[in-house]
Amino acid sequence: MSEHDQREDYDDEPWKGRLAPKHFVRWPASAMWAFGLVQLLLSIVGLILLGLAVLERAVAGQDNAAGSWQSLFLSDDFLIILFVCVIGTTANLVVMRGAAGMGRFRRYSWAVAASVLLVLSVPFIYFAVFTVPLGIWALIVLCRRDVRARFGANARKQTSGAA
């Protein structure tokens, strides 16, 4: 509160520059996109390795081809690895899309979803050392009033421009 004005919302120091929302969003959005890309590539490598393992097992068990294929695709290991790779690929596509939208102040809900997925560190838990703080940082930035206002302004601009 100023000694000149008793109001709380009064700006006592208008000469001090305020940082624009893009300065707060730039780094977390870029880092989120980069981690999403790395994890997406690792998920795709996992799918490729799973495919190679399937081929190797199929070639090794060609004497009983029908039973071999059925036991291969219904094994618990295969299904778990396939599930983790598919979930990882999907989650990291969401992270990359949300981070790209966050950097341009578009798709607020995607940006929040991407931040939450980073906090959950899906599916690569060993990246949690980096992704959990990054996701929390991104959520804090997304909760800022000026950042939300910028997302809202862009959304209104897009809807009025489309009409």
**pLDDT for residue 163 is more than 90:** no
pLDDT grade, residue 65 (50/70/90)?
low
The answer to whether residue 104 is domain-embedded is: yes
**pLDDT for residue 44 is more than 90:** no
Q: What is the mean pLDDT of residues 94-119?
A: 93
Domain that holds residue 39: 22-154
Question: What per-residue confidence (pLDDT) applies to 4?
Answer: 57
Find, among 156, 154, 43, the residue nearest to 103 by Cα.
154
Q: Give 25: exposed, middle or buried? Use CB within 10 Å, 0-12, 13-18, 19+.
A: buried
The answer to whether residue 42 is domain-embedded is: yes
Please name the residue that has the structure tokens 């690895």.
81
CA of residue 133 relative to chain centroid, distance: 13
The answer to whether residue 16 is domain-embedded is: no
Domain count, the chain: 1
pLDDT grade, residue 81 (50/70/90)?
confident
The answer to whether residue 163 is domain-embedded is: no
The answer to whether residue 136 is domain-embedded is: yes
pLDDT grade, residue 141 (50/70/90)?
very high
The answer to whether residue 6 is domain-embedded is: no
Contact 131, 121 (CB under 8 A): yes
